[in-house]
């Protein structure tokens, strides 16, 4: 198996009100570099501080979202994000190392898997979308 490149990219924070949090971090000096909507309905925004390499990801989950949890002080951390060159190969490696997967998203535009650390914090590994499967005749 070819060596999989794994790169730490960002830390995610859950936020109660996205506009309020964006205003705060922008005032602090961060700038918005990407934003999007998750397949399950949440919203994310990547921020970058001048001179930094890692990003800050703000995550908002509406009450109707399956990942929504009331936020209490100290529970705002959402997850760490790692970019991997080959998600399937990294998944096989994590299984070999006996890390239980807690979620797997394999869609044409997303290829993501999640594990948890011993305290329950989520760790996300994302990479290129899965290759289209050959159709059998």
Q: Name the residue ranges covered by the structural domains of the chain.
A: 6-126
The count of other CB atoms within 10 Å of the CB of residue 60 is 21
pLDDT single digits (tens) 66-122: 888 887 777 777 788 889 999 999 999 999 999 999 999 988 888 999 998 866 778
Instruction: State the pLDDT at residue 47.
Output: 94
Confidence of residue 136 (pLDDT cuts 50, 70, 90): low
Pairing of strands 6-14, 55-60: parallel
Is pLDDT above 70 for 129?
A: yes
- Mean pLDDT (whole number) for 46-67: 89
Question: Count of residues for the chain?
Answer: 137
pTM: 0.68
* Mean pLDDT, the chain, whole residue set: 86
Residue 113 contacts residue 93 (beta carbons within 8 Å): no
Residues whose CB falls within 8 Å of the CB of residue 103, separated by 6 or more in sequence, listed in order:
112, 113, 114
What gap in Å lies between CA 31 and CA 86, rounded to an integer?
A: 29
Residue 128 has pLDDT above 80, yes or no: yes
Angle at CA of residue 62, ends 60 and 65, nearest 5° = 105
Cβ-contact 65, 40 below 8 angstroms: yes
**Could you tell me the pLDDT band of residue 133, with boundaries at 50, 70 and 90?**
low
Q: Which CATH number fits domain 6-126: 3.30.420.40, 3.40.50.300, 3.10.180.10, 3.90.1150.10?
A: 3.10.180.10
């Amino acid at each position: 198996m070819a060596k999989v490149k794994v790169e730490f990219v960002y830390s995610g924070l859950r936020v109660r009100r996205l506009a309020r949090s964006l205003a705060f971090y922008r005032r602090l000096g961060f700038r918005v570099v990407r934003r999007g909507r998750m397949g399950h309905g949440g919203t994310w925004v990547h921020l970058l501080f001048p001179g930094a390499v890692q990003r800050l990801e703000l995550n908002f989950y509406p009450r109707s979202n399956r990942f929504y949890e009331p936020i209490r002080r100290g529970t705002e951390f959402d997850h760490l994000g790692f970019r991997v060159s080959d998600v399937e190969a990294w998944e096989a490696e994590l299984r070999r190392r006996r890390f239980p997967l807690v979620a797997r998203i394999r869609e044409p535009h997303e290829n993501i898997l999640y594990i948890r650390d011993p305290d329950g914090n989520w760790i996300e590994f994302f990479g290129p979308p899965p290759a289209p499967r050959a159709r059998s005749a």
